Structure 1
């Protein structure tokens, strides 16, 4: 009986020939194919969609603006999530095993945290940019320059990379949880157990920028509403050319703020379940079932694939840029000077 059952037991291990291998919990063929299709399509969309955003903004000179440089940098972070994080997480989620080695597990986790926080910081700076653009549309070009945008981009990359590297490569994240971490991280596992202190820091690092964005966008839409009423009133009584120009600028900036506000809302909806689950899990003894954790994780990952779809729906310039790229016109010498409507 033992000899008959051992092959079955071995088949349920990630590495049957290795002592201390994790137990494998395989899906049946149907669900496995479906999960690979769902997760794989998300990764492909994150890679290709964000690559289109970056290429459009960097190649077409008309799109060279402080806001668009921030958007391109944000797209780089989402692109890197699609390249370095999602494919390997897809295999881990479907196969319930990590086949890529312990060192790459640490690197993968570091990239996961760094790129996601980079997205958050980019969105926070974009909120500040939109707030200035809507509340002070005429003074905005002098206040939020390309140099200021560059500083925001550097900060948005450096802080998450330094923080993530310091936490995961020094091993401080599981202080006090060494026994649990050792038990979970069998051969073929890539389960990161973070202690309460670092989970709380992570949650606050998510919550504080989120509150800042909510406050800024709330003020933006209040100001936009006041501007719309003022423009309506001046339109009825007649207006000077300077007032007409100011009205057009304000309308353009409000439209851009609305689109980026939708991007922020999508980010919060995607990441809030994972952030709350991580906080509850750390203080309740890691009780979350594996499938709930995976759902929360992939909701967060899919945010990297959502932003290009939002731009495609609400930015006419992005639609035209996609046509330029896919039609091959981008390879013509004059394509960089091509005019696109940014309205």
Structure 2
């Protein structure tokens, strides 16, 4: 009579009646609805928000500048995260199973890493661009041209894609981890194992560009403070037209640097927990609870949905461009020459 009370709950599998299926640990129905809504909203914002950024920069001629081309390319990386990574990770996170096949698991992981590092490289080049613009605003247009911006964009895409492809399609990332790979090898799972050496390389690829960004933006804000003090001290004096023009240019470049600095801070806050978790986990025997990993992972994913909100909050021209696009203004004659700036 007491035997039924002592029986464990039935184990759920990702694929019922399939030998070697992974064990499924689903959330309650209410939690699943909340998670699907929360994660799905992030995916939609990443897709449509970054699509608006790309459309704005590429369509309106007034926005055709080396910096904005870098921003559009960064938005493209975030857009691809929203299209190719987040929807499938959404199902994996909520259902605790991978239903899309082993081959696509490798491709999905490759895209995840590639687009992440592409964002890092874009932000690093943007910080270099802003540093040159603030330190020497009058000479900046001759130093950071569209062709230089194109080279930075090319490197930001080619290097991460080549690196992630080499790691996930050559098998070098799991050398020495054969027993763990075998233990995790079940139908309905997508656990990519990376050994300590490659986890450390991953961390350095994130840490070094991020450190460069922090150093450059620290110098930018120091220079901006000095320039603001200088302008304030000479404000009561009569300025020549060239000095007045230089002050206006410097003020504009400082404002742009501050806004993009917010983007960098948001990126670091979003990605640092995930990066630290993967580094610590590799050296602690991969014992991190699944829910901790998912929280860190989705915090990083949500960064792809964050940048359009930052642009909308700080850039009046982006808000105006959105209004034109949503009202169908792209289809009107000469819409690409619309003035988006108030001054």
Say whether the fold is shared (TM-score over 0.5): yes
Segments of 4+ in structure 1 off by > 3 A?
A: 5-9
Equivalent runs, 1:160-171 vs 2, <5 Å:
160-171=160-171
Q: Distance in 2 between matches of 1:229 and 1:241?
A: 19
Using the alignment, how far apart are the partners of 2:17 and 2:114 within structure 1?
35
Please state if 1:243 is matched with 2:227.
no
Show structure 1 runs of 5+ residues with no match. Answer: none
Residue aligned with 1:237, SS: coil
Map 1:72-111 → 2, pairs under 5 A? 72-111=72-111
Query: 1-side partners of 2:188 and 2:240: how far apart?
Result: 70
Separation of aligned partners in 1, 2:185 and 2:124: 35
Distance, in Å, in 1 between the alignment partners of 2:276 and 2:185 is: 23
Residues matched between the structures, number? 339
Tell me how far apart the structure 2 counterparts of residues 264 and 74 of structure 1 sit (CA, whole Å): 12
* Mean Cα deviation higher: 177-186 or 281-290: 177-186
Q: Which residue in the other structure is 1:183 paired with?
A: 183
Q: Distance in 2 between matches of 1:99 and 1:152?
A: 37
Q: Which position in structure 2 is the counterpart of 1:14?
A: 14
Following superposition of structure 1 onto structure 2, how do residues 152-231 of structure 1 map, counting pairs within 5 Å?
152-231=152-231
Which TM-score applies when normalising by structure 1? 0.97
Q: Where in structure 2 are the equivalents of 1:309-320 lying within 5 Å?
A: 309-320=309-320
Q: Secondary structure at the match of 1:138?
A: coil
Listed one character per residue, the Cα deviations across residues 187-228 of structure 1 (whole Å, up to 9, x for unaligned) are 000011110000000001110001000000000001001110
Q: Specify whether residues 342 and 77 from structure 1 end up closer, same or farther in structure 2 by C-alpha distance, changes over 3 A only.
A: farther
Deviations 1:32-66 (A, max 9, x none): 00000000000000000000000000000000000
- 1:252-291 correspondence runs (5 A): 252-291=252-291
Cα root mean square deviation, aligned: 1.4
- Give the Cα separation in 2 of the matches to 1:339 and 1:19: 63
Decide whether aligned partners of structure 1 residues 342 and 59 sit closer, same or farther in structure 2, where only a CA change above 3 A counts.
farther
1:119 aligns with 2:111: no
In 2, are the aligned partners of 1:315 and 1:342 still within 8 Å (CA)? Answer: no
C-alpha displacement at 1:6, in angstroms?
Answer: 11
Q: Distance between the aligned counterparts of 2:241 and 2:185, measured in 1?
A: 68
Superposition deviation, residue 333 in structure 1: 2.0
Q: How many angstroms does 1:93 deviate by?
A: 0.2
Distance in 1 of aligned mates of 2:317 and 2:9: 59
Contact 1:98 1:188 in 2 (8 A): yes
CA-CA distance at 1:179 after TM superposition: 1.3
Unaligned runs of 5+ in 2: none
Post-superposition CA distance 1:283-310 (Å, at most 9, x none): 1101100000000000000000000000
Q: How far apart in 2 are the matches of 1:146 and 1:171? A: 38
Instruction: Give the TM-score of the pair, scaled to structure 2.
Output: 0.97
